[in-house]
Chains A and B, each alone.
Chain A
């Protein structure tokens, strides 16, 4: 029942501004796929092109291997969950859920039965006759999901549906969405600007910036092997140290920086002499001397329980952040002193500057 979605070089221009250019990726049937990016990066435009509210100015959208050109949102096997949820406030919950069935000419008794089935699925049995305004935020959220699932879509499109909820409920709904996706097997395409949401829920994530696709990868790959400087900085926290490539070999590169030579993993596209940056995650930095050693003055320490965030300053004024596990806090340097931090080369990534 679930469909794959293929974007083949799609682009969207509004007047003279390009909202999206040359984006291609394929979402497998039954996958939980997220599109992650800051606001204005074109992710909502992509979702609306998949839904059929926008016709791409270039490229093709294929759903279940069928070209969707010229088909409106009511003719595509997709259902959308809007950021505002867009429940119909003047219809009781069950009519909301059954609205898509009503549009397909399903009889009233059958509609009611299907709505009740879906209410059971979202654990809101007996809420069918209430009005949407009488429900809590999380309940409305679930009703919106049920309403979209009622039409048995091949692809469910979610436009930041959790952004209006408070943190606790959001975390709860993440797990619930994930479970619902597994149970129904429907392809989910989920739009978000919240990277932890994308990493926690998705099978794969596409990262967008300025209308361009940056990387498509599993959350783990995205975090460990960012493909572009944007991804390295946008997904998770990172320390960036700029320099120039001085040696390459065996999947590793040496970068000469103002803080001395540093080693990190690199792909083949780098050339000697090229401007490049070494990216190191805070949790990869440990107090002490090692293969790559940085010296910085410790300016602040935030104790977070499981670990402490140690903030330092390099001689050139740039900032350093290290996440030191509480179990190793004994080695942590004192505030105001110059200290050494080191990281293993395989925990750092070298990327050419854009």
Chain B
């Protein structure tokens, strides 16, 4: 804060701070407070709003707690998002390591282009591409049947499709933080470990992963949050049996017309996601400030 004033002078620094505060108040604080207010009130016709029945209660939250199907989908969304983060990590870590430590500058720029260019395209369209790939009469089934691996087409849409679509959609959010972290590792550390007799697994477990911990945690947090709040992938690649919690929130808002219950559901998801993230960071002994970097 003092640096800010020292660098830009009183007038400009005050303007910056005011703008940031207005932004935070209008775009973050106010909508969330409104959502909390919505979540605590019953869903009433306009005429009864503000009337004697319009009292704050936890009814909307209790509804979720007592509704078995919604509760199950909610819990599944949480652990499936963790699974998405874990799978994305498994896919990205070797690639990030290769890019950061092994690739030549030419290979690196090609690899970076290959992972970044698809992200120029909207998430909906990218997911739609998977929708086409995984279709019942789509290319994947055709290829697998062609080489004789399966006899009849497989219905990929459902849990498997959602998982694949999400891992693909969030690769960049996992890859880049880990790449950044591993890139700063001095090559001679790897050579020293090897010279002292360590194999690949020990070198990664004892040298690379501890060094890249903050990057890995950042990637996992991003991916988990994005997966838990994802709507497109479950809507396009899912099946009725693989519903995501965001779809239920959507239903309350736009089909059930019950904004209050929708707000309660959304708030629950937000709070639980935050809790999962904070616990994860605590377990891996990473600070929130490391993630912010």
Residues of A within 8 A of B (CB): 51-53, 72-74, 78-80, 82-84, 86-88, 90-91, 99-100, 102-104, 147-148, 151
- Closest beta carbon of chain B to A345's beta carbon, Å: 50
Q: Specify the chain B residue showing the minimal Cβ separation from A74.
A: B197
Residues of B within 8 A of A (CB): 186, 188-189, 191-199, 202, 206-207, 210-211
A79 touches B206 (CB 8 A): no
A74 touches B194 (CB 8 A): yes
Bound complex: CA of A83 vs CA of B188, how far in Å?
9
| B-chain residues with CB within 8 Å of residue A78 when the two chains form the complex | 195
B195 touches A73 (CB 8 A): yes
- Closest beta carbon of chain B to A30's beta carbon, Å: 21
- Closest beta carbon of chain B to A126's beta carbon, Å: 23
Bound complex: CA of A102 vs CA of B206, how far in Å?
11
Among A51, A82, A151, the most chain B Cβ lie within 10 Å of the Cβ of A82
Bound complex: CA of A182 vs CA of B271, how far in Å?
65
One of B186, B191, B198, B210 near A99 (C-beta < 8 A): B198
A80 touches B186 (CB 8 A): no
- Closest beta carbon of chain B to A153's beta carbon, Å: 9
B189 touches A151 (CB 8 A): no
**Other A-B pairs beyond A74-B198, A74-B199, 8, CB < 8 Å:** A53-B195, A74-B195, A86-B186, A86-B188, A88-B206, A90-B210, A102-B206, A151-B196
Known contacts A74-B199, A99-B206, A100-B197: A86-B211 contact under CB 8 Å: no
Q: Specify the chain A residue showing the minimal Cβ separation from B190.
A: A86
Q: 5 closest pairs, A vs B, by CB?
A: A100-B196, A86-B192, A86-B188, A103-B197, A103-B198
- Closest beta carbon of chain A to B216's beta carbon, Å: 14
- Closest beta carbon of chain B to A106's beta carbon, Å: 11
| A-chain residues with CB within 8 Å of residue B197 when the two chains form the complex | 74, 100, 103-104, 151
| A-chain residues with CB within 8 Å of residue B207 when the two chains form the complex | 88
| A-chain residues with CB within 8 Å of residue B189 when the two chains form the complex | 86, 88
Bound complex: CA of A80 vs CA of B195, how far in Å?
7
Known contacts A82-B188, A84-B186, A86-B189: A72-B194 contact under CB 8 Å: yes
| A-chain residues with CB within 8 Å of residue B192 when the two chains form the complex | 80, 82, 86-88
Bound complex: CA of A204 vs CA of B211, how far in Å?
40
Bound complex: CA of A148 vs CA of B186, how far in Å?
18
- Closest beta carbon of chain B to A280's beta carbon, Å: 42
| B-chain residues with CB within 8 Å of residue A148 when the two chains form the complex | 196
| B-chain residues with CB within 8 Å of residue A90 when the two chains form the complex | 210-211
Q: What are 20 inter-chain pairs, A to B, with CB distance below 8 A? A: A52-B195, A72-B194, A74-B195, A74-B197, A78-B195, A79-B195, A80-B195, A82-B191, A83-B188, A84-B186, A88-B193, A90-B210, A90-B211, A91-B206, A102-B206, A103-B193, A103-B202, A147-B196, A148-B196, A151-B196
| A-chain residues with CB within 8 Å of residue B202 when the two chains form the complex | 102-103
Among B194, B195, B198, B206, the most chain A Cβ lie within 10 Å of the Cβ of B195
Bound complex: CA of A80 vs CA of B188, how far in Å?
10
Known contacts A147-B196, A151-B197: A86-B191 contact under CB 8 Å: yes
Bound complex: CA of A47 vs CA of B210, how far in Å?
29
Among A52, A83, A86, A147, the most chain B Cβ lie within 10 Å of the Cβ of A86
Q: Specify the chain A residue showing the minimal Cβ separation from B202.
A: A103
Q: Specify the chain B residue showing the minimal Cβ separation from A104.
A: B197
Among A84, A91, A103, the most chain B Cβ lie within 10 Å of the Cβ of A103
| B-chain residues with CB within 8 Å of residue A104 when the two chains form the complex | 197
Bound complex: CA of A79 vs CA of B189, how far in Å?
14
Bound complex: CA of A147 vs CA of B198, how far in Å?
13
